[in-house]
């Protein structure tokens, strides 16, 4: 037995103890040892049932795997104190007992680089308030559980492996707490991780669960778990199974290769996914059942289903919330069924959906905001009575049908756009309802808005354009359209009498004809309901583009003030009140490249959308376009330019050139005189904007006594700061698919700060020229690389800046 000797090392500082020594058996050594001692085990097999009831340390003398603990029956290793075990192999073959048992409030085992090879009820059990730390350990138990925590126990597993468990790999029960870091659970006969009972919690970081004959994680009975940077795959059951008020939160996790559901939730359980990915699942990504059950996903991706089921299934009163998520390559994306079931999605993308991206039935509701649906069979299908919800600012493109409303469903759709549908953009039938406000249907191969069966659908300020069959199709009376426009409706002849209501009230001047799908004659929509599309886009779009311009804060405020004044004036007119008549002509002063032409164009669009101008187009001219070579030709040229701008904006750049300091007999004065008269005679037809340097424009306005009085105000365009020039360069990069790192941006900011701002400085044009130079220098540099990466083809570096 000498080869089994155990050396006890006296680690305590007590002077009253006997000296350290060697012992034939573990039992003898432990009887002699005291708290704090180390027991060093020589290689071999110890057939003893070991009880560690003292705070001692057991170490395999020749390293991990050289010492085996294998008794005939019972528990090979029991720990009831703060003991440490390093490098031992624990073997057991008793189906009624655990291989390692840590128990009692004083039990606090620390197992390092140990291996448990058992055919027992449990590989490692931590019970009755005890705690255990396992580092670099392996637990294999084909006959039972891998690791079990019960009775408010605690365990930490670092860099561990639980393999070949006959039942669950790790079971956390009875209010216990487990924390796993960089550990693997695989080839289990039950759930990889089983969580049950109120107060039971598990926290996994950087872990992997795979090859499990059951669910990857099964949580029930109010247990809770948090997983970060974990991977669950290749399990025969669900990736996650939650029931009875259990809660799981996953961050940065990956669930894939799952034949059933990636997550199945029932019984008022809750699941949250954040920055996680779910793909290659056979049934659903999220199947959410029962009232009170709730799933939340943010910044996550769901894709590549292998079965024919909806990716998200919400039924029986359950709730799902999605934010900034991507769903793609699916048979169906989101199905919401049954009264009380709801789904909310904000800023989400649905693409490459074979059937329906969103289906709502059985009285369920959805709330979608700023979502994008592309390449789907049906964008959204509201199927039956009491099914509905809200769609706000959503985009639907390249679908068979954009939105279907049938059998009494009644959604509210606001600010949404359907583009390039192969059938109708919006289709309502079989007593479907629906309210559509400020929606757009465009570039479809079928109808824009197709309402049949006399459905009482309401359409307000909707727009249809470039649809192959018709913009609006009403087969019989029922739908109500108000202030809608379509590009296939011609204006009514001017000599038609204005239509009136039954009481004689005057209606809008044009009645729109809408094609009928049945009957010998087309139906007539309500007077003024569908009108021709105006030439300009809505004011909000033009003002949004103005707001998106870099810098120019004072300019934007000036323009908005004018627009507000005009808009309120027109409202006062409609209310029968006197309205101010502000002069709309403007003077723009500032250096070149500060955005004067762009702002002039947007100003014209806004005035047209408000009905102040007929078209709102921009005609840009300079001295050479207005001044002729001989007497009389200047007036003709100026009048021709003014006529071209009728209904829009005449923008005269460098207008001061019409009034040179040494003008003498210069014909520019004739252009100014002609312009003043035309502005007076046609003040409601054209807005004139003159632009140029500040000092020179003062001289221009003084060239004719009536000139300055024609302009309502002067708008000053300041030079761009170095930071604003950098922002313009960033925008150029994004537009042309280039990128700059922080060092390049810092160098570019310094370049703009030190640039000469003399007469040749072009503001925004300078920023664009610098960007173009950087692109050229980048091309020269990258051309020398044999096989440049995508990043190298995009990234601009400080060396690319102009010298």
307-352 pLDDT, tens digit each: 999 999 999 999 999 999 999 999 999 999 999 999 999 999 999 9
What phi and psi values does residue 723 have, to the nearest 5 degrees?
Answer: -65, -40
What phi and psi values does residue 437 have, to the nearest 5 degrees?
Answer: -120, 130
* More confident of the two residues 787 and 68: 68
β-bridge mates for residue 122, sequence order = 98, 145
How far is residue 173's CA from residue 191's CA, in Å, rounded to a whole number? 13
**Can you give the pLDDT at residue 682?**
78
The encoded tokens of residue 217 equal 């994680």
Q: Return the HEC string of 378-444.
A: EEEEECCCCCEEEEECCEEEEEEEEEEEECCCEEEEECCEEECCCCCCEEEECCCCCEEECCEEECC
**Can you give the pLDDT at residue 506?**
33
**pLDDT at position 136 over 90:** yes
**pLDDT at position 403 over 50:** yes
CA 163 → CA 5, 91, 118, 168, 212, distances in Å?
32, 15, 11, 10, 10
**pLDDT at position 143 over 50:** yes
**pLDDT at position 759 over 90:** no
Strands 21-23, 6-9: pairing kind? antiparallel
Q: Which helix (H) or strand (E) holds 462?
A: none
**pLDDT at position 368 over 50:** yes
How far is residue 455's CA from residue 427's CA, in Å, rounded to a whole number? 10
257 contacts 280 by C-beta, under 8 angstroms: yes
What phi and psi values does residue 655 have, to the nearest 5 degrees?
Answer: -60, -25
**pLDDT at position 590 over 60:** yes
pLDDT digits (tens, 9 = 90+) for 620-644: 888 888 887 777 788 888 888 888 8
Confidence of residue 574 (pLDDT cuts 50, 70, 90): low
Confidence of residue 526 (pLDDT cuts 50, 70, 90): very low
**Can you give the pLDDT at residue 504?**
34
Rounded mean pLDDT of 165-182?
Answer: 98
Confidence of residue 536 (pLDDT cuts 50, 70, 90): low
Query: What b-and-e string marks burial along 362-380, b requiring 16 or more CB atoms within 10 Å of the CB?
Result: bbbbbbbbebebbbbbbbb
Considering only CA atoms, which of 124, 70, 125, 114 is closest in space to residue 93? 70
658 contacts 626 by C-beta, under 8 angstroms: yes
Rounded mean pLDDT of 775-788?
Answer: 89
Rounded mean pLDDT of 68-72?
Answer: 95
Considering only CA atoms, which of 704, 692, 707, 619 is closest in space to residue 656? 692
CA 594 → CA 61, 97, 117, 652, distances in Å?
80, 83, 77, 15
**pLDDT at position 220 over 70:** yes
**Can you give the pLDDT at residue 672?**
84
**pLDDT at position 265 over 80:** yes
Listing DSSP states for 542-580 in one string gives: HHHHHHHSSS-HHHHHHHHHHHHHHHHHHHHHHTT----
**pLDDT at position 3 over 80:** no
Confidence of residue 768 (pLDDT cuts 50, 70, 90): confident
Q: Is 283 exposed, middle or buried (0-12, 13-18, 19+ CB in 10 A)?
A: buried
569 contacts 612 by C-beta, under 8 angstroms: no
Length of the chain measured in residues: 803
Confidence of residue 581 (pLDDT cuts 50, 70, 90): low
**Can you give the pLDDT at residue 495?**
41
Q: Is 253 exposed, middle or buried (0-12, 13-18, 19+ CB in 10 A)?
A: buried
Q: What percent of the chain has pLDDT over 70?
A: 90
Listing DSSP states for 101-145 in one string gives: EEESTT-EEEEES-EEEE-SSEEEEEETT-EEEEES-EEE-TTSE
- pLDDT mean across residues, the chain: 87
311 contacts 333 by C-beta, under 8 angstroms: yes
**pLDDT at position 434 over 80:** yes
What phi and psi values does residue 735 have, to the nearest 5 degrees?
Answer: -65, -35
The helix/strand/coil state of 145 is strand
Considering only CA atoms, which of 175, 182, 240, 229 is closest in space to residue 202? 175
Which of 41-55, 381-395, 437-451, 743-757 shows the lowest per-residue confidence on average (mean pLDDT)? 743-757
In sequence order, what are the residues at sequence separation of 6 or more whose Cβ sits closer than 8 angstroms to the Cβ of residue 544?
A: none
**pLDDT at position 694 over 90:** no
**Can you give the pLDDT at residue 252?**
98
Confidence of residue 514 (pLDDT cuts 50, 70, 90): very low
Rounded mean pLDDT of 392-406?
Answer: 96
pLDDT digits (tens, 9 = 90+) for 449-506: 999 999 999 999 899 988 999 999 998 999 999 989 888 876 544 444 433 333 333 3
* More confident of the two residues 701 and 374: 374
650 contacts 616 by C-beta, under 8 angstroms: no
How many other CB atoms are found less than 10 A from the CB of residue 160? 27
**pLDDT at position 235 over 50:** yes
How far is residue 748's CA from residue 800's CA, in Å, rounded to a whole number? 10
**Can you give the pLDDT at residue 674?**
86
Q: Which helix (H) or strand (E) holds 319?
A: strand 319-323
**pLDDT at position 797 over 60:** yes
CA 660 to chain centre: 56
Considering only CA atoms, which of 228, 229, 247 is closest in space to residue 293? 247
250 contacts 230 by C-beta, under 8 angstroms: yes
Strands 513-514, 523-524: pairing kind? antiparallel
**Can you give the pLDDT at residue 557?**
83
The encoded tokens of residue 186 equal 């695989």
**Can you give the pLDDT at residue 681?**
78
274 contacts 298 by C-beta, under 8 angstroms: yes
Rounded mean pLDDT of 754-762?
Answer: 75
**pLDDT at position 273 over 60:** yes
How many other CB atoms are found less than 10 A from the CB of residue 662? 5
Strands 138-140, 161-163: pairing kind? parallel
Query: What b-and-e string marks burial along 522-531, b requiring 16 or more CB atoms within 10 Å of the CB?
Result: ebebbbbbbb
Which of 189-198, 238-247, 257-266, 792-801 shows the lowest per-residue confidence on average (mean pLDDT)? 792-801
């Amino acid at each position: 037995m000498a080869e089994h000797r155990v050396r006890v090392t006296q680690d305590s500082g007590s002077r009253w103890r006997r000296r350290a020594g060697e012992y034939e058996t573990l039992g003898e050594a432990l009887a002699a040892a005291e708290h704090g001692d180390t027991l060093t085990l020589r290689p071999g097999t110890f057939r003893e049932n070991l009880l560690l009831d003292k705070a001692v340390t057991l170490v395999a003398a020749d390293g991990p795997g050289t010492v085996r603990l294998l008794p005939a029956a019972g528990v090979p290793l029991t720990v009831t104190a703060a003991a440490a075990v390093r490098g031992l192999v624990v073997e057991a073959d008793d189906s009624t007992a655990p291989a390692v048992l840590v128990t009692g409030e004083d039990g606090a085992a620390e197992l390092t680089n140990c291996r448990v090879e058992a055919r027992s009820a449990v590989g490692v059990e931590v019970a009755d308030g005890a705690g255990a730390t396992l580092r670099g350990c392996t637990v294999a138990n084909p006959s039972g559980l891998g690791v079990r925590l019960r009775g408010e126990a605690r365990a930490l597993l670092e860099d561990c492996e639980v393999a070949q468990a006959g039942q669950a790999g790790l079971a956390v029960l009875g209010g216990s707490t487990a924390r796993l870091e960089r550990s693997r659970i695989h080839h289990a006969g039950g759930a990889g991780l089983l969580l049950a009972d109120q107060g039971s919690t598990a926290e996994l970081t950087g872990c992997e669960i795979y090859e499990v004959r059951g669910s990857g994680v099964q949580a029930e009975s109010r247990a809770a778990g948090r997983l970060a940077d974990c991977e669950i795959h290749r399990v025969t059951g669900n990736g996650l199974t939650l029931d009875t008020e259990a809660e799981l939160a996953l961050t940065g996790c990956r669930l894939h290769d799952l034949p059933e559901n990636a997550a199945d939730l029932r019984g008022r359980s809750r699941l949250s996914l954040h920055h996680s990915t779910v793909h290659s699942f056979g049934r659903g990504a999220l199947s959410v059942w029962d009232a009170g059950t709730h799933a939340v996903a943010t910044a996550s991706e769901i894709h590549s289903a292998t079965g024919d089921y909806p990716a998200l299934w919400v039924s029986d009163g359950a709730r799902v919330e999605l934010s900034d998520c991507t769903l793609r390559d699916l048979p169906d994306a989101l199905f919401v069924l049954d009264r009380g079931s709801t789904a909310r999605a904000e800023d989400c993308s649905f693409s490459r959906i074979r059937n329906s991206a969103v289906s709502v039935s059985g009285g369920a509701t959805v709330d979608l905001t700023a979502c994008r649906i592309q390449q789907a069979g049906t964008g959204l299908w509201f199927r039956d009575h009491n099914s509905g919800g809200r769609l706000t600012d959503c985009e639907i493109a390249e679908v068979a049908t954009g939105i279907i409303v049938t059998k009494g469903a009644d959604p509210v759709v606001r600010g949404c756009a359907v583009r390039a549908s192969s059938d109708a953009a919006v289709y309502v039938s079989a007593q479907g309802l629906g309210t559509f406000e400020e929606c757009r249907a465009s570039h479809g191969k079928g109808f824009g808005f197709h309402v049949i069966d006399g459905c009482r659908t309401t359409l307000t300020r909707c727009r249809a354009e470039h649809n192959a069959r018709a913009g609006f199709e009403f087969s019989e009376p029922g739908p109500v359209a108000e202030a809608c426009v379509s590009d296939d409706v011609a204006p009514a002849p001017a000599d038609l009498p204005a239509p009136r209501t039954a009481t004689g009230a005057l209606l809008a001047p044009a009645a729109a004809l809408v094609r009928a799908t049945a009957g010998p004659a087309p139906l007539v929509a309500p007077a003024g309901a569908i009108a021709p599309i105006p030439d300009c886009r809505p004011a909000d779009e033009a003002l949004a583009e103005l707001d998106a311009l870099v810098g120019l804060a004072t300019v934007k405020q000036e323009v908005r003030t004018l627009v507000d004044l005009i808009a309120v004036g027109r409202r006062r007119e409609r209310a029968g009140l006197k309205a101010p008549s502000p002069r709309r002509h403007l003077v723009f002063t500032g250096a070149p490249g500060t955005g004067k032409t762009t702002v002039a164009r947007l100003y014209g669009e806004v005035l047209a959308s408000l009905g102040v101008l007929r078209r709102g187009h921009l005609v840009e001219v300079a001295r050479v376009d207005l001044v002729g070579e001989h007497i009389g030709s200047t007036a003709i040229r100026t009048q021709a330019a003014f006529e071209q701008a009728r209904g829009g904006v005449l923008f005269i750049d460098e207008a001061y050139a019409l009034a040179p300091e040494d003008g003498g007999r210069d014909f520019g004065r004739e252009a100014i005189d002609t312009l003043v008269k035309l502005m007076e005679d046609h003040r409601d037809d054209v807005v004139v904007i003159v632009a140029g340097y500040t000092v020179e424009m003062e001289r221009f306005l003084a060239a004719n006594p009536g000139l300055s009085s024609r302009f309502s105000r002067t708008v000053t365009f300041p030079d761009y700061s170095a930071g604003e020039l950098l922002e313009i360069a960033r925008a150029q990069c994004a537009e042309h698919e280039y990128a700059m790192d922080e060092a390049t941006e810092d160098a570019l900011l310094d370049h703009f700060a030190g640039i000469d701002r003399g007469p040749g400085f072009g503001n925004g044009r300078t920023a664009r020229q610098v960007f173009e130079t950087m692109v050229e220098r980048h091309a020269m540099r990258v051309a020398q690389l044999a096989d440049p990466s995508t990043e190298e083809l995009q990234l601009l570096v400080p060396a690319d800046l102009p010298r």
